Amino acid sequence: MVDKKSLCPEQIEMLDEHLPYRLQLLDGLCWACSVLDSSLGNSSLSLSLSGAQVNFPDARPLTNALAESGILYCRVLLNFLGIHHNNGKFTEYNPREDDFTIANLGLQIVTTDKLKSDPPTGNPDDIERACLNMLRSANKAVAHFTTADARACCNDAACCAKTVMWLIEKYVYRKLGREVPAYKIWTNQ
């Protein structure tokens, strides 16, 4: 366990602001997947912001934005934890000098064995497949315009997002002895 008093302002900012924000987007991805997998995805959507009403014929403007940002942040947070992929296989993330990773918090990187070790988010083979698919999808279908067949499916996206949230809770916040922030604003789970 890292001594809480030894955390610098940059580390505290990451734990209190940046990670919770990104976790909210993963929670939003889970919500979007549940909406897209249900008949609600075809329902009209109405948003009210400071009294201004915006109406959409269906939920896709919101679900698609949440899905794409969530997929990207699955990749960002897996890299933060130390997990990368190359040619369809997990590899250890090799951060650049200015990348902030779990090691910057004084914690050990999360190995792929930990990724698949008893998570409450599914069986290990499904989790591995889902996370590899999300890493590929983030690279090929979201971050770049490409003709590669790398589209994400809701089951893989939700499985990966739930797994990443669990990993961050277990291997970052709990390892540091910190309370997990209340980031589940979309699913309230």
Q: What is the pLDDT of residue 113?
A: 85
Distance CA(132)–CA(121), nearest Å, equals 15
Tens of pLDDT along the chain (189 residues) come to 455 568 899 999 999 999 999 999 999 999 999 988 886 666 788 888 888 998 888 888 888 899 889 999 999 999 999 998 888 788 888 888 889 999 999 999 998 888 888 778 888 989 999 999 888 888 765 554 555 555 567 889 999 999 999 999 999 999 999 999 999 999 986
Q: What is the pLDDT of residue 58?
A: 83
Q: What does the pLDDT look like over 22-58, one tens digit per residue?
A: 999 999 999 999 988 886 666 788 888 888 998 888 8
Q: What is the pLDDT of residue 109?
A: 92
Distance CA(81)–CA(8), nearest Å, equals 19
